[in-house]
Structure formats: structure tokens, C-alpha cells
Amino acid sequence: MKRLVLISPVAAGGLVGREFGFRLPVLGLLKVAALTPPDWQVTIVDEKVERLDRAIAADLVGITSMTTTAPRAYEIADHFQGRGIPVVMGGMHVSALPHEALAHCRSVVVGEAEELWPRVLADFERESLQPIYRHADGFPSLRGLPRPDWELYRQKRYLPVHFVETTRGCPLDCEFCAVTTAFGGRYRNRPVDEVIAEVRHLRPFPGVFTLKNCVFFVDDNIVSNRAYARELLPRLAEFNLKWFSHASMNIARDAELLRLCQRSGCVGLFIGFETLSDENLQAIGKRTNHPQEYLDVVRRIHDHGIGIDASFVFGLDGDDDGVFDRTLEFVTKAKIEVCYYSILTPYPGTRLHHRLTHERRILTSDWSQYDTCHVVYRPRAFTPDQLLAGYHRALRESFSLPGILRRLWGTTAYKPFFYPMNLGFRQSARALRRAYLRNGRNVSAITAQPG
């Protein structure tokens, strides 16, 4: 039996790096494993929860990579290639920069694995691996996808959360986001019957009670297609789930969808607020958001017992030095259950990266710094150090114990979900701040010359 080892590298630092308080599973590698024929023995190694045995036996190695994990991914690839074991790489970063990745591996899968991965394995068996595999025309169908085998993760030290996908793609095309480039500019939906069959097949994690039915729907907008959502959500209600997903704030304008989310077990939604500035929203291309409506949006969602994980980006070109105080005031006043702050990061393949490269504002191509916790470009309104200091102040104040209590006191959202989430973010933010102070609060030491 041929041996396939699939590896997810961990970032060296950052809010979602090695110190992150939440050990969440990697759905992408489960999907690749599901696409692999049964005559292969599949092992998945996720460095978030386990150490990679560099002597592990393998006939073929697959490595997935985000931008911030690319240096570690390349290090691992070089090691296995040095052992004479072919390495295939995929993921968002190598899909954007396939020729960079090919300096470290035998083949690159550009884009989604469906329809491509079986070709990779067939070519491997014929000893004819190609350098680049990509879809010749459009994106693969989401119909008839093989079911992920969660038993591959049963003994790993993950949080007891299952990941399920119902849609891919996003038509918004925000300047800083790579989703549209990677997954297409429209929403593609899986057949509802297939989603329901996958949910029905899930099994509780052993020894876990309060979160045993917790599911994270990994869609960029689970209510993007309202007709589809109206078919899916009532059928989820039969499973007694506690589920979380992403949504646009347009959901607040649809009382029926909010009721369906509540009845089907939605405990929280991740929503990209991004900024409190209309000017910034227009500049980045997110025209669905209107800051004057933010408080009303939050109220309507809260009225249905649904908590909010709100994301904000610091360092947009229209920001000034008051952006941190305004954002902190808003998340406290609105009683946002979780606030996710990020520093604007120009990921390869995005329109933002193209623009800042053209303007010669990129400071470094050290991909390990592309973790939304470092400043890798020259901001307009701040020095890099000022932006980094403001980011850390926002984290410190929001995830101090008084800050957490001010936001969560009186909330009707599901407390067993949001209190642990805040404490996990507090732990991660404190670890990130210790690293920040240890490095002398100076980003100029880790940035190269503009190029």
C-alpha cells in the first residue's frame, strides 16, 4: 500500500500561530484525503497539535500553505525532497505564487483540489508528475464531493468542533481579500441533501458534552443565496446543533433568515465590519457595509440570540490616529461578543498587493510576517511602529478581563461558546504582546527596503 503524508505547517508566531489558544482542525486536508483512492494509506500531520516526525515513512508528501506558513512549508518540503520523496504543494499561497513554490517541491496544485488531486496521484503512479496542475476552465463542481473522514482526526488534540462546507466563492472582491481570486467571483452551493447527509454522519467527539454538537460552517457567507439558505436552515434544525459561520451584514435586513438561523441553532456569526469609515469601505470595494447602520445591524442580530465575531482592519489608507479609540468605543457600546483585529496585510495575488507593489510601499517579502499581526507595508497615516502599537493597545484593552466583561455582560448569546472564545483570544493576545515587547516594539528591524 502506498503511503501519503499530508502536512499542515504552523506559523512561527502571530495571533493564529503556534500560541493560538484554539486548536481547530484543517478541513482542506480532510478533503484531500477523501479524494485519495482507498489503496493509499493516508496520514495527516497538523503542526498546531502535534510534532512532525521528519523520519516518517512516505511515498508522497502533500503540504498545504497559507502565506504566513510558507517559510515553514518550504523548509518541510526541502527536507522531504532531500530524502528523495516527491512533494506536492497546494493552498492559497502557492496557488498565488506557484513558481516560487516549485523551487521547493515537485508539483503545485493551483486552486481547488477537486478534479486535480486524482490526476496528481495517477501521474505519480506513472512516474510522470507535472510541475503545475490547474483547472483549465473555471472551477470544479461542488456536487458529489466525497465525505471527509473525521476518524483521521479522532485522536488529535483539537477543539471538539466539526467543519462543514456548504458554499464557496464571493462576489464582493474586497481589495485586500484573496477569496474571490482563489474561489471565484460568485457563490457556488453544494446540494442541500449532500450537506445534510454529511452533518448526519458526524459523530460527537469522545468525552465532550457542552460542545459535542458544535459545527463551524466554513462558508464566506452562509446566507449568500437566500433561497438556498431557506432550504438548508430548516433542515439543520433537526440535529440540535450549535453552529457558527460567516455572513454579510445584509442578514440583518432579513428577519426571516435571522429567525431561521436562530431556530436551526446558530450561536454566532463572523461578520467583516472592517472599518467605521465610509471612505475606507468605498476604497476597498466593500459597498455592502454602511457604518451608520452598524449599531442597528448588531441589535437585530442580538435580538435573535446570535452573537457576533466582528473583524476590523487597522492601517487602511483613510485611517487616522483616532481609529483605535473609535473602534474600541464601538465594540464596547455595541457589546460585540468577540472582536478580531488585524493589521492590513497585502497577500500575494490580491489587488492590494498589486497596488502597494506599484506604489513601492511593500517593506518586506518575509512571508512569515504576513500574519495580520505585523506591519509589512508603509502606511499612509502612521509609521509602522505607530500602527503596530495601536494594534496591540486595541488587543490589550479589548481582551483585558474588564474589557471582556464590559462586552459580554448582559449578552443573550450562547455563553459556553463566547466566554471560552474570549479567554482563548486573551491568552493568544498576551502571548503575542510578550513577543512584541521582547522584540523592542520596533518593526523596522524586521523589514527590508521598499521594493
Whether the pLDDT of residue 224 is over 90: the answer is no
Which pLDDT score is estimated for 20?
63
In this predicted structure, what is the pLDDT of residue 220? 87
Distance from C-alpha of 177 to C-alpha of 435, rounded to nearest angstrom: 27
Listed range (146-160, 202-216, 244-258, 374-388) with the worst mean pLDDT: 202-216
Q: Which range among 97-101, 235-239, 284-288, 340-344 shows the weakest confidence by mean pLDDT?
A: 284-288
- pLDDT of 18 reads 64
**Alpha helices per DSSP H over 223-319:** 226-236, 255-263, 278-284, 294-302
Where does the pLDDT of residue 213 fall: very low under 50, low under 70, confident under 90, or very high at 90 and above? Answer: confident
Distances, alpha carbon 350 to alpha carbons 31, 174, 254, 345, 384, in Å: 25, 9, 31, 10, 21
Element (DSSP H or E) covering residue 72 = helix 70-82
Q: How far apart are alpha carbons 134 and 13 in whole angstroms?
A: 31
Report the greatest alpha carbon distance in the chain: 63
Count the neighbouring beta carbons within 10 Å of the beta carbon of residue 279: 12
CA angle 166, 172, 178 (to 5 degrees): 80
Q: How far apart are CA 299 and CA 312, in angstroms?
A: 18
Percent of the chain beyond pLDDT 90? 76
Residue 211, pLDDT > 60, answer no
53-70 pLDDT tens trace: 999 999 999 999 999 999
Mean pLDDT of the chain: 91
Domains, the chain, ordered by start: 2-134 (3.40.50.280), 160-438 (3.80.30.20)
| β-strand partners of 167 | 189
**β-strands 132-134, 162-164 pairing:** unpaired
Chain length of the chain:
451
- Cβ neighbourhood burial of 40 (10 Å; 0-12, 13-18, 19+): middle
Span 390-419, pLDDT tens digits? 999 999 999 999 999 999 998 889 988 899
pTM of the model: 0.93
For 308-320, the DSSP string reads EEEEEEE--TT--
The pLDDT assigned to 70 comes to 97
pLDDT over 70 at 442, yes or no: no
Exposure string of 291-316, with b = 16+ CB inside 10 Å and e = fewer, is beebeebbebbbebbbbbbbbbbbbb
* pLDDT 10s digits, 90-124: 999 999 999 999 999 999 999 999 999 999 999 99
Query: Would you state the pLDDT for residue 13?
Result: 67
Phi first, then psi: give them for residue 170, nearest 5 degrees: -160, 130
What pLDDT score does 174 carry? 87
Q: Provide the angle, in degrees to the nearest 10, between the axes of the packed helices 415-438 and 401-408.
A: 150
Min mean pLDDT across 20-29, 318-327, 342-351, 394-403 is at 20-29
Least confident of 206-215, 245-254, 301-310: 206-215
- Supply the pLDDT for residue 242: 93
Residue 445: per-residue pLDDT: 40
Q: What is the tens place of the pLDDT at every residue in 33-51? A: 999 999 999 999 999 999 9
Residues 230-246 have a mean pLDDT of 95
d(CA 276, CA 170): 22
How does residue 24 score in pLDDT terms, banded at 50, 70 and 90? Answer: confident
pLDDT digits (tens, 9 = 90+) for 158-179: 888 899 999 998 877 788 888 8
Nearest to 25 by CA among 149, 163, 121, 142: 163
Inform me whether the pLDDT recorded for 443 exceeds 60.
no
* Stretch 131-136: mean pLDDT: 95
